[in-house]
Amino acid sequence: MDEASPNLLLRALGQRIRELRTERGYSQESFADKCGVHRTFMGTIERGESNLSFQNIARVATTLGVSLSTLFLDLEDRAQRLAAVSVGSAAAKLKHSTSAKRNR
């Protein structure tokens, strides 16, 4: 993984937290309350915009009723898939941009 990987890992962790939260029937707001954080902070976590402290990661896992290893399960694979999607999306934008310039 390259230097962009920490951001991809944060996004993958956020997706994993959202997935587990919704499986357990929590709204984002009620889950944030149970974790002892503000709902907007939980939103930044789930979007991969916040670099969580270990204490917050442990609190999230405990609230979800999962071990840390379960929370982190397949995180690197998820990040790799996000990277592949990002590369594909960037290539599509470049192709669209190039063909739009030719059509002028």
Could you tell me which of 85, 66, 87 has the C-alpha nearest to residue 20? 66
The pTM of this model reads: 0.78
Distance between CA atoms of residues 82 and 77, nearest Å:
9
| Length of the chain measured in residues | 104
What percentage of the chain exceeds 70 in pLDDT? Answer: 79
Domain spans in the chain, listed from the N-terminal domain onward: 5-102
Could you tell me which of 100, 93, 52, 43 has the C-alpha nearest to residue 75? 52
Which of helix, strand or coil describes residue 50? coil
CATH architecture for residues 5-102? Orthogonal Bundle (1.10)
| pLDDT confidence band for 51 (50 / 70 / 90) | very high
Q: Where are the beta strands (DSSP E) in 17-101?
A: none
| pLDDT confidence band for 18 (50 / 70 / 90) | very high
**Res. 2: pLDDT tops 80:** no
